[in-house]
């Protein structure tokens, strides 16, 4: 704790309002970089994961290699992954983004594939009876019904990417991770705690926002949940 007349910065306190006031722009820049790297990584991973999931669903012989490859990529330690990518991209944000894309593929491919496979065959048969072709069935029937599993994968991938972005500090592009590593080197307590707390806030906020988006896109799941709750209450009565 800071002594009387001594600022919390000079006392190197963990909680320091003066640090927030004096380093506000630095914290903002780091947070923006953190969000940007995370969002771009997850979006690129989603664009790649979707066709891979369709390929694995369409051709059973491709399912094993697709799932196996994405699983192997996920087992590579993050420090080793970024180090391996350095010769290809140099010291650039693309090193961190590429690594996060590879890590996100495992979760996204498995969840998208699980969602597509969970679509009831009766729904497909009904769509065929109405003259739906493969493309229209995918976009109009299968994808909407697979959304809960898909969004669950996006939520997991996003929270994981927020956590792993901090490791990008080894190449200078770790968002809030840059402040955490710099603070640990100099034992700057307020910087370490503030940047770490902001990472937690980002993860929680992203998960809540994506959960809200999921519920907005799948209103039928809420109606189904209310019907189930009503039936349970009726039986209890």
* The pLDDT value given to residue 221: 67
- Cα 218 from Cα 223, distance rounded (Å): 10
Angstrom distance (rounded) from CA 140 to CA 15: 52
Residues 6+ apart with CB under 8 A from 7: 18
Res 234: pLDDT: 52
Q: Per residue of the chain (237 residues), what is the pLDDT tens digit?
A: 555 556 777 777 777 788 788 888 889 999 999 999 999 999 999 999 999 998 888 888 888 888 888 888 888 888 888 888 888 888 888 999 999 999 999 899 999 998 888 888 888 888 888 888 878 888 888 888 888 889 999 999 999 999 999 988 888 888 999 999 988 888 888 888 999 999 999 999 999 999 999 888 877 666 554 554 445 445 544
Tell me, what's the pLDDT at 235? 53
Query: For residue 23, what is the DSSP state?
Result: S
**Is 198 in contact with 176 (CB distance < 8 Å)?**
yes
- Rounded to whole angstroms, the Cα distance separating 123 from 218 reads 16
Domain 33-219 is found in CATH 1.10.3720.10:
yes
Q: Contact, 116 vs 145, CB < 8 A?
A: no
Residue 230 is predicted with a pLDDT of: 47
Q: What pLDDT score was predicted for residue 48?
A: 94
What CA–CA distance (Å, rounded) separates 39 from 47? Answer: 12
């Amino acid at each position: 704790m800071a002594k009387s007349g001594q600022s919390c910065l000079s006392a190197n306190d963990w909680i320091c309002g003066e640090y927030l006031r004096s380093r506000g722009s630095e914290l903002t820049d780091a947070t923006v970089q953190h969000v940007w790297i995370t969002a771009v990584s997850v979006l690129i991973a989603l664009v790649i994961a979707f066709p891979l999931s369709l390929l694995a669903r369409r051709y059973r012989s491709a399912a094993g290699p697709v799932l196996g490859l994405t699983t192997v990529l996920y087992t590579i330690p993050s420090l080793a992954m970024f180090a391996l990518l350095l010769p290809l991209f140099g010291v650039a944000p693309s090193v961190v983004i590429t690594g996060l894309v590879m890590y996100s593929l495992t979760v996204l491919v498995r969840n998208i594939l699980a969602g597509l496979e969970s679509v009831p065959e009766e729904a497909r048969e009904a769509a065929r009876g109405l003259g739906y072709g493969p493309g229209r069935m995918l976009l109009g029937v299968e994808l909407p019904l697979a959304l809960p599993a898909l969004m669950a994968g996006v939520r997991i991938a996003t929270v994981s990417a927020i956590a792993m972005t901090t490791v990008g500090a080894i190449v200078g592009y770790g968002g809030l991770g840059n402040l955490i590593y710099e603070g640990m080197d100099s034992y700057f307590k307020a910087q370490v705690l503030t940047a770490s707390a902001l990472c937690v806030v980002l993860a929680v906020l992203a998960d809540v926002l994506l959960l809200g988006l999921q519920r907005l896109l799948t209103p039928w799941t809420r109606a189904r949940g209310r019907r189930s709750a009503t039936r349970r209450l009726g039986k209890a009565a």
